[in-house]
Structure formats: structure tokens, C-alpha cells
Chains A and B, each alone.
Chain A
Amino acid sequence: KQEVTQIPAALSVPEGENLVLNCSFTDSAIYNLQWFRQDPGKGLTSLLLIQSSQREQTSGRLNASLDKSSGRSTLYIAASQPGDSATYLCAVYKYSGGGADGLTFGKGTHLIIQP
């Protein structure tokens, strides 16, 4: 059974700092990995998707890397801003012979950027 772990569970840093969020997964036979942000009481906003054949993806101040063999991904946020405060979720997608397994999520990292 796929398990996804995110470290740290919570993080509070001053504005302007660069930071790294970590995600690990137990089954490396994944299709892709996706990072999301979730604001309180809201749905999920897709940030980056990395296919299993890729090593990293970048969007603006965000960079996500994937090391499938070791079961790890990191999300790097450069020059953090108060608007980046949210819960960040990592999810892996696997399609087995019996059908789609859907996304398996970690519990998230609750990020607070202090002005």
C-alpha cells in the first residue's frame, strides 16, 4: 500500500527566506507526482506536476524535484511571501493493472510566512 509522508508538518519562517518542503513515498512505481496548495476551507490548487520520467519542474518561484528510485520529492520556494502561507500537499498517482488507484496524498505541510 502506497504511503506518502511530508516533513515538516508545520513551518513558520520570515518573509524573504528560501525554503524546502519534503515528500517521501513508499512505492516507487508511480505515474506522476503532483504538488498542491490548499487555503483554509478551500479546495486544492495544482502547483506542479512531475511525470515519472522527469527530474524536476519549475513554475515562477517554485521548483519541484523528483527522485523516483529513492521515493523522494522536494518543493523549493524562493523568496517566500506572506501570500505563500497555506497548506502544501504532495500526492502520487499510480495506475495498476486493475484500474486507477487515484492520488495518494500526504498530510501536508502547514506553512506560515511572517511579514
Chain B
Amino acid sequence: DAGVTQSPTHLIKTRGQHVTLRCSPISGHKSVSWYQQVLGQGPQFIFQYYEKEERGRGNFPDRFSARQFPNYSSELNVNALLLGDSALYLCASSSLSNQPQHFGDGTRLSIL
């Protein structure tokens, strides 16, 4: 079975642009979460979606938004990119909140 897949793997943008990152969960998983990991730190929680509804939001500005589609895939959108948004963006899926979260390999976003 395929694991969590994320696209693209790498992305280079300039300040002020916007970006869309995509995630496909493991088949049968209805919960998708997004995390930001800067170098040398643990991942920071951005959003959790379950059954296409937002179930949780971390301490990130409104420039960050997300949605989940009927097939449970998800998009993370970031507007007005800043240098500080450079990070590895990770997507995780799980069947239920209290079950293991499985991560994709992430999208490496670099802001110039």
C-alpha cells in the first residue's frame, strides 16, 4: 500500500509569492495534519482536518490556510511568503485522532 505522498518534493519561491502544497493520505485515512519543520527543530503543528472539516489549528498567521477534499487529499496554501517560511512542510495522516500518525517525506520550501 502507498504511504503518505506529498508534492512537490522541492520548491523555490521569492518573497511575496504564494505556494500550494499537496498531500495524499494513506488509503482509508480520513484525518490529515500539516506541520512545519525548520532546521534543527521538531515539527510545529499547523492544521488538522478530519472528514473535510478543520479540527485544529496551530499558532500560525492567517497567511496559512488549508482544505481537505472529498477524496481526503489536502492542500496547504501559504500567501505573501516570507523568508522565515523556508522549511520542510510535512503532511501526516491517520485513521483516527488516537491512532498513529504516518508522515510523508515532506516538501522542502526555500524562499529567496
Contacts and interface: CB of A to CB of B under 8 A. Distances in A.
Interface of A: 4, 31-32, 34, 36, 41-46, 49, 51, 89, 91, 93, 95, 99-108
Nearest to A42: B105
Interface size class of B (residues with CB under 8 A): 20 to 34
Contact of B102 (A46, A93, A100): A46
A106 to B, nearest CB: 5
A103 B43 contact: yes
Nearest to A100: B56
A32 to B, nearest CB: 6
23 contacts: A4-B42, A31-B97, A41-B108, A42-B105, A43-B4, A43-B103, A43-B106, A44-B92, A45-B103, A49-B99, A51-B98, A93-B97, A93-B98, A93-B101, A95-B97, A99-B56, A100-B48, A100-B97, A102-B56, A102-B58, A105-B42, A106-B42, A108-B42
